[in-house]
Amino acid sequence: MKPFSKIACIGEVMIEIVSQQSGDAALNVAGDSYNTAVYLAQLARGSDCTVSYVTALGQDTFSQRAVQDMQRFDIGTSHIERRCDRNIGLYAIDTDEAGERSFTYWRSESAARTLFSAPCTVGLDVLAQFDLVYLSGITLAILPAPVREALIAALAAYRRKGGLVAYDSNHRPRLWEDAQTAIDVNNAMWAVTDIAIPSVDDEMAIHGDASEADVLARMDAAGVTDGALKRGPSGPFDLTRSTSGITFAPATKVVDTTAAGDSFNAGYLFERARGADQAAALLAGHDLASRVIGHKGAIIEI
């Protein structure tokens, strides 16, 4: 696969409320595909790789804060729909002593749910401006079914013209209409994906697979043969089967597992963007995720 330099991440950025031990809370800007964009942009500094974020926001103060956050990280903001009748989504996060997280969301009427919906200034033709497009299961789950179908069809056409698609099935059951829709949409996405970067637990949850071996067998049957299957502290499995004997060092400290998968995706995709081999990409993703989970919140400076 050829190197790529113009990357678009598509999805929802939100305001994140993080509980502090003092009882206070910190406000941050985050969201799964947005976290990946932030880490990609940080890694890309000084290179010829550019990162843009494609979403819909409101005209509210917190939406503007999100735009300013993107600009601080040198993320392109030219492809953001701005809605006068919607606001940015919101979520709160709590972590237990083991660093595992739980979420409370206020996003049912967020502007991001109107992305690519008419009337719009940011249409599906925006895909043609990029070498690689990255999105997640959350991106698809928040969109109305007709828009979701149109996006998948547009991604198929984009690939036929030489574009690359990277996809993480990042699963939030409550965002989907029902379990079967999640299965059907994910199956449709794997058919238009070049680089797959899902987590084994998400794949098992979506499809009811009993084991990692079942996940791999199903993905092989679907023709998913490039990318990485994330397995937490065990390290990623190479979906290309082109590497062997790689040792993935465990994280030395786990404070908050938020954005572990998102940061892995960034480290992995950036190495692929530079033309690095699969081993280097797998290690880069794992090492970045190990650093991120040693800190509170989704975003750290790297």
pLDDT digits (tens, 9 = 90+) for 279-288: 999 999 999 9
**Cα-Cα-Cα-Cα dihedral sign, residues 204, 207, 208, 213:** negative
Amino acid in the structure at residue 173:
P
Examine residue 183 and state whether it is found in any structural domain, yes or no.
Answer: yes
Assign residue 111 the CATH number of its domain.
Answer: 3.40.1190.20
Q: What is the reported pLDDT for 99?
A: 60
pLDDT at 19 over 90: no
pLDDT digits (tens, 9 = 90+) for 51-109: 999 999 999 999 999 999 999 999 999 999 999 999 999 988 777 777 676 778 899 99
Examine residue 224 and state whether it is found in any structural domain, yes or no.
Answer: yes
Examine residue 297 and state whether it is found in any structural domain, yes or no.
Answer: no
Q: Is 197 exposed, middle or buried (0-12, 13-18, 19+ CB in 10 A)?
A: buried
Q: What is the reported pLDDT for 42?
A: 98
Would residue 48 show up in a list of annotated catalytic residues for this protein?
Answer: no
Examine residue 301 and state whether it is found in any structural domain, yes or no.
Answer: no
Out of 214, 262, 277, 287, pick the active-site residue: 262
Q: For residue 104, what are the domain limits?
A: 6-292
pLDDT digits (tens, 9 = 90+) for 227-260: 999 999 999 999 999 999 899 998 989 887 888 9
Domain count across the chain: 1
CB atoms within 10 A of CB 17: 16
Q: Tokens 């697979």 appear where?
A: 209
Examine residue 271 and state whether it is found in any structural domain, yes or no.
Answer: yes
Examine residue 298 and state whether it is found in any structural domain, yes or no.
Answer: no
Q: Tokens 């200034």 appear where?
A: 121
Residue 164's beta-bridge partner residues?
132
